Amino acid sequence: MINRLLGSIIMCTLLLANISGAKAHDMEKGDPNAIIGTWKNGEGTGMIKITRNGEKFQGQIVWLKEPNDPETGKPKLDKNHPDKVNHARPVMGLTNMWGFKFAKSGVWDGGKIYDPKKGSTYDCTIKMKDDNTLEVRGYIGISLIGRTDVWTRQADR
């Protein structure tokens, strides 16, 4: 009887240790969906909503501090895009980030980011500093040649 009780206690202890070890391992892997939400750029001029698209993540412009062109008073258009075909498309609603893959806890890479102000596309890596802060690094070629912008989480739009 005592052996059976002791065996049960040991078995329960091992089972609980295995479960908590698995949870710790999952925490180390991180949550791929942690970046999903609406983020304000560092300048405070725009908000981008990041969503999941299959196994990858993308972002769409959902708010602009100045949504209208000061010259025409009409919604801003993607007039700086290198392909003139895109000059008539609105900046609001534009998918300006795409192709991000979850790499490891707090890091998404392999993506691209488009800057409609310059009409340029850059390679990009996203690092989550905490639940409400992203470091978005756009670069050309290697990550050393680039710029990092700090984004803050906003209430979803």
Q: Which parts of the chain fold into alpha helices (H)?
A: 2-29
| Whether 116 contacts 78, CB under 8 Å | yes
In this predicted model, what pLDDT tens digit does every residue of 79-138 receive, in sequence order? 999 999 999 999 999 999 999 999 999 999 999 999 999 999 999 999 999 999 999 999
Structure tokens that stand for 120 in this block: 């340029």
Every domain of the chain and the residues it spans:
1-30, 31-154
CATH of the structural domain 31-154, one choice from 2.40.128.520, 3.40.50.300, 1.10.260.40, 3.50.50.60: 2.40.128.520
> At residue 39, does pLDDT exceed 60?
yes
What is the Cα Rg of the chain in Å?
22
| Whether 153 contacts 133, CB under 8 Å | yes
| Whether 99 contacts 82, CB under 8 Å | no
For 4, 23, 124, 125, 137, the CA distances from 103, given in Å and listed in that order, are 46, 19, 13, 10, 15
